[in-house]
Amino acid sequence: AEESSEVPDWIRGSGKSTSFKTANDDFIPPSMPFWMKNHECAVDVKTVVYEIVESDIDKLSRILSNHYTSPDLVVKALNDCDVCVSDDLVEQVLRRFSFDWLPAYGFFKWTQSEKRYVHPPASYDRMVDNLGKARKFDIMWELVEEMSSSSQGYISLNTITIIIRRLAKAGKYEDAIEAFRKSELFGVDKDVNALNRLMDSLVKEGSVEHAEKVFLEFRDRIHPISDTYNVLIHGWCRTRQIGKALKTADEMREQGFRPSLITYASFIEAYARDRDFRNVDATLQEMKNDGFEPNVVIYTIMMKALAKAKEIDRAMEVYQRMKSDKCSPDASFYNAFITALSKSGRLRDSNAVFAEMAEQGIDPLVSTYNTVISIAAENSQEEEALGLLLKMERNGCKPDRDSYAPLLKMSCRLKRMKVLRFLLRHMFENDVGLDLGTYSSLIGGLSRKGKLKEACSLFEESVQKGFVPMNCTYNILVKQLEKKSKRNEKQHVEGIM
């Protein structure tokens, strides 16, 4: 039976060697074979009895993973697919193909036209997000119009927020603001909550100036609250415009709003990032004078900033101060502390803190696992890095793209092709698709290590999925092909680009 082509041909087979095989290709860390073998067996057994036990998500993935040039061709390919469409199945497919908009959208339309399935608002929102992520804004707006005409209440503040965030992420700040302006046409109130979400999206995607513009435009019609001012303060602090942040804080007080912990946190983060510890201490004192004691959020923000600045001695001081204040650390704080220790080269200490979390009864977050996986992978500690992924699986913590990225990079660096195949299969089965950054990392890493067949295959697949390869990725691949005198392959890659 055909295996999923979400990953290229060279990834699918696990028992046959490629023409590029080296001594490293089939190496698996000693403690890992049982887990990997069990994982492969589960796939192989399912393949052998394909007609009997193939799940609906497997059937759909097998079809959707092929290359299509239009959503209509996806619909046509799915016409003979006998699956039971449910809300859960639709959600899983749209999540699994979240970085591959065309098959996702074709599947979405097929369920409507052929299966007479009525998508709930959550499915529409997911598809709107997928289209926005792919920057297919014309199709995204068509779908929003369909939502508007099909049923009352399908478009919510959540829908508008998704639209705004995707437009802002694409640098289309004016379009994001316009989406907010016309939100009432879709039955969504332009209230202070919606305004705050718009401003927050603009700030997070790099334009506090547009957030200020929106604030000034609407403040007479939509009365700001403390959160509104805090969004602006955070934006000015993020862009190191402390003077404007202080001015906004003064205006906030004039309007009758007291600074909150969030207000102080923005200033503390900005000062700590600039290593201005005198002002960090002054702000902490001002905060205490205003009746606020530092909580775990404040300490976490300080720890994150100190980690970025590689100020490990001050990070240790924060940890001790936190303990003396009888403030209990949470998973986010531990994550920041582990990062600070690892960035300073104190790997043994970072591992000890990770172990301390379990002793304190605190379950690691996905981001905590990602941090320790990244540390191990960067130091080529294969067994430990892969063991942490196994631990995530056993503890019911679902890995995300950041869990896999350092493992993929490590596998390329060490030429562990069998491990790389396993990881890509593991990603797909956990509904984690390959984005442009992952493709670029893999293509670059494989090219540098002479795995040019695999690099070319991934390059072609990424282009077929609509990703525009980064120039540096393209240049690395072409340079290596030229170096190895692979003229045909070089011409093929140049033709694709």
Q: How far is CA 237 from CA 140, 229, 243, 434, 450, in A?
A: 33, 12, 9, 33, 45
341 CB burial (10 A radius; 0-12, 13-18, 19+): buried
DSSP 8-state code for residue 248: H
State residue 151's pLDDT score. Answer: 66
Please report, for the chain, how many H helices and E strands are present, in that order: 29, 0
Count other Cβ atoms within 10 Å, centred on residue 451.
25
pLDDT value, residue 235: 97
Write down the pLDDT at residue 8. Answer: 42
Q: Rounded distance, CA 248 to CA 231, Å?
A: 10
Q: Both tokens of residue 288?
A: 């205490």
pLDDT, position 30: 47
Q: What is the pLDDT of residue 21?
A: 41
Number of neighbours of residue 472 by Cβ within 10 angstroms: 10
pTM of the full predicted structure?
Answer: 0.77
What is the per-residue pLDDT for 273?
Answer: 86
Structure tokens at 155: 């478009």
Q: How far apart are CA 127 and CA 142, in angstroms?
A: 12
CA 432 to chain centre: 10
Locate 420 and state its tokens: 């790389």
Q: What is the mean pLDDT of each run of 10 residues along the chain (497 residues)?
A: 38 36 51 52 35 68 89 93 90 91 96 86 96 96 92 88 98 98 94 97 97 96 96 96 96 95 94 89 93 92 86 88 88 90 84 87 90 90 91 91 94 89 89 86 88 88 78 87 84 79
- Identify whether the C-beta of residue 412 lies closer than 8 Å to the C-beta of residue 420: yes
- What is the DSSP secondary structure assignment for residue 5, as one 8-state letter? -
User: For 245-267, what is each residue's pLDDT tens digit?
Assistant: 999 999 999 999 999 999 999 99
For residue 150, the model assigns a pLDDT of 77
Q: Among 336, 221, 255, 190, which residue's Cα sits nearest to residue 232?
A: 255
Alpha-carbon distance 160 to 180, whole Å? 7
Would you state the pLDDT for residue 42?
A: 43
Domain ranges of the chain: 77-154, 310-362, 365-430, 434-496
CB neighbourhood size of 78 (10 A): 22
Q: What is the DSSP letter of 80?
A: T
Distance between CA atoms of residues 163 and 186, nearest Å: 13
